[in-house]
Amino acid sequence: MKNYKEMLDLSKIPAHIGIIMDGNGRWAEKRSKSRGDGHRHGSEIIEPVIGACVELGVKAVSLYAFSYENWSRPKAEIFELWKLFEYFFNTKLDILASKGIKVVHSGSTNRLPGKIKKLLSDTIKKTAGNKKITLNLCINYGGRQEIVEGVNKWLADRKPDEKFTLKKMEKRLYTASLPETDMIIRTSGEFRISNFMLWQTAYAELVFTDVLWPDFSPSDLYKAIYDYQQRKRRFGNI
């Protein structure tokens, strides 16, 4: 097996990586476990993957944790996910803070349970001064909704005869404070963006892997970044 970590060009590490963490349910089904078990195992993958990103010098990682569309899932599974978020914030907060990880949130806080709102707010406040890497948790998030919300923000703020521009839109995105998104990874073998960071993926490199998220490891991350580094990014040029 190739050692992709040793093959990486450290001068070409993506500044901002988005990850669609897909495959928890299928991982559980293959092992005759509950979907909740799949989500729990998947949550444990976050820490080593973020740790690998810190080591490589990645500046920001956006994790697609809960989408607007996920509200259509069975209520029991949604309840299990909220309990899992509680567990994650309660057990990982001090670890994240000690590693210099700054936590931010992309998405709407509408409909989020009160306890989750508080835990998310407390985590953001406690890690606000950290500068090693930014972990962007996309919870109750949708790319289309983000764009609509950004346009509505501009409409509320606009001056008479003011024209809408790309920069004015970008200032109103959830990711306004983050670097440009260089790369999107989707696990589980699906070839879709699924309403994730639609504006930000305009020129991002897309990497799809068959690995289910609960099986995803730093080695898989290194391979994805290696694949990214083999491409020539033209941004519309020749």
Q: Catalytic site residues? A: 22, 70
CA atoms of 175 and 201, how far apart (whole Å): 12
- Encoded amino acid at 194, one letter: S
* Beta-carbon count within 10 A of 161 CB: 5
Indicate the helix (H) or strand (E) that contains 152. helix 143-157
With beta carbons less than 8 A apart as the criterion, state whether 187 and 22 touch.
yes
Burial grade of 171 (CB within 10 A; 0-12, 13-18, 19 or more) = middle
User: Per DSSP, what are the bridge partners of residue 66?
Assistant: 139
Helices 46-56 and 218-229 pack at an angle, to 10 degrees, of 40
